[in-house]
Amino acid sequence: MQISVTGHHLDIGDALRAHIEDSLNSTVEKYFGDAIEANVVISREHQQFRADVSLHVIRGLHVRGHDSADDAYAAFDIAAAHLGKRLRRHKRRLRDHHSNKRETGALPAQQYVIAGYDGDSENNTDETTADNPVIIAEDTTHIEELTVSEAVMRMDIADLPALMFRNAASGSLNVVYRRADGNVGWIDPNNA
């Protein structure tokens, strides 16, 4: 597994880098054997350290964890514990859904990152308005065919605010999202 450890406005020492690599390797090996890549960013926020961990386990499965603490080691350890908990849940759910194994197909799609518009005319050019945002990045992705429970699981594991998927029952595009009250919302245009 390729592991990238970076510090945001701070220097990462060899001891912390070795601790992160050992911890991630042991956590991933416990549940999946080997992963594709991991990115860890340690940053300083006010009086605390923040650790953001992003793990690309297999194609289509990204797991994220983050936390803050007074010490960079503690911040990473807590974030890694969150990551391990999500991997354990995912592995258990895969085992539970193994009996319902089916062939899934994915729709090809384009994914864009669009610059935010803050309304400040000094920071935005004439081309950047609320009606004409600037595209920062463009990538090819796939919209997976999932059940609603699998989509909620993927959204939870990846720590995403929303996830678009093709509903395995109806074949239509659906969205699950995290509501402000902490519950999960589900948009299904077929039931409208």
Q: How confident is the model at residue 137 (pLDDT cuts 50, 70, 90)?
A: confident
Averaged pLDDT, 38-46: 90
Q: In Å, what is the CA distance from 96 to each residue of 54, 55, 131?
A: 25, 23, 46
Rounded Cα gap, residues 102 and 111, in angstroms: 26
Is the pLDDT score of 102 beyond 60?
no
Tell me the whole-structure pTM to 2 decimals. Answer: 0.56
From 83, 98, 113, give the residue that closes a domain.
98
Q: How confident is the model at residue 117 (pLDDT cuts 50, 70, 90)?
A: low
Q: Are residues 29 and 43 in the same domain?
A: yes
What is the domain range of residue 124? Answer: 104-191
Number of structural domains in the chain: 2
From 39, 64, 98, give the residue that closes a domain.
98
pLDDT one-digit tens code per residue, 84-97: 888 888 777 766 65
Q: Is residue 23 exposed (0-12), middle (13-18) or buried (19+ Cβ within 10 Å)?
A: buried
Q: Can you give the pLDDT at residue 95?
A: 66
Averaged pLDDT, 146-155: 88
Lowest mean pLDDT among 16-20, 35-39, 113-117: 113-117
Rounded Cα gap, residues 162 and 144, in angstroms: 14
Q: What is the CATH number of the domain that holds 143?
A: 3.30.505.50
Q: Are residues 28 and 44 in the same domain?
A: yes
pLDDT one-digit tens code per residue, 155-188: 888 888 999 999 988 888 999 999 989 889 999 9
